[in-house]
Amino acid sequence: MIKEHVDIDDIIERHPGKPESLIFLLQDIQAAYNYISPEAMTLVCDHVGVPLTQAFAVATFYKSFSLEPKGEHEIRVCLGTACHLKGGERIAEGLERDLGVDRGHTSTDLSFTLETVNCLGACALAPVVMVDDDYLGGATQNSVRRFLKKFE
């Protein structure tokens, strides 16, 4: 999931300088950098001609956008009813300790972002942890630790 460097000016130049391009530009910047920096937001607003407040309203409304740097790997721990009952909370707490990061934040080395979610759509596999695009069903603190070792 390591992304090659993409120049933000190249991204901006691929889109027309119209307000209708706002979301597409934000999506491309999010895809290239894993988040939207304040500097990028200013460049986008200047290009499409919308106020910063409007762009921030869009970026904070949609969960797919992040205004803080994301880790190279995103860990999502399900805390829906089935996962919660089968230990999802303990797994989340263990990851906080192991990674030294609070939920909703990114490790200082930018390796991992830890999130908790209400459902991953795999209740029969509870508890479920998702690392990037991989589902870990029947997860335990130890199985998650073993899985994460491959990213060290």
Q: How far apart are the first and last CA of the chain?
A: 14
- Phi first, then psi, for residue 129 (nearest 5°) are -125, 135
CB-count exposure of residue 87 (10 Å: 0-12, 13-18, 19+)? middle
pTM: 0.72
Per-domain residue ranges of the chain: 8-61, 73-149
Going from the C-alpha of 69 to that of each of 49, 123, 131, 133, the distances in angstroms are: 25, 30, 17, 19
In 3D space, the residue among 151, 66, 139 whose CA is nearest the CA of residue 106 turns out to be 66
Predicted pLDDT at 146: 94
Predicted pLDDT at 3: 47
Length of the chain: 152
* Other CB atoms within 10 Å distance of the CB of residue 90: 14
Predicted pLDDT at 64: 82
Predicted pLDDT at 2: 41
pLDDT tens profile 118-142? 999 999 999 999 999 999 999 999 9
Query: Which CATH architecture fits 73-149?
Result: 3-Layer(aba) Sandwich (3.40)
Predicted pLDDT at 6: 76
Q: Which residues of the chain have pLDDT under 70?
A: 1-5
Instruction: Quote the DSSP letter at residue 125.
Output: G
Cα–Cα distance, 86 to 24 (Å, whole number):
39
Predicted pLDDT at 99: 94
* 3 state DSSP class of 113: strand
In 3D space, the residue among 72, 69, 71, 15 whose CA is nearest the CA of residue 43 turns out to be 15
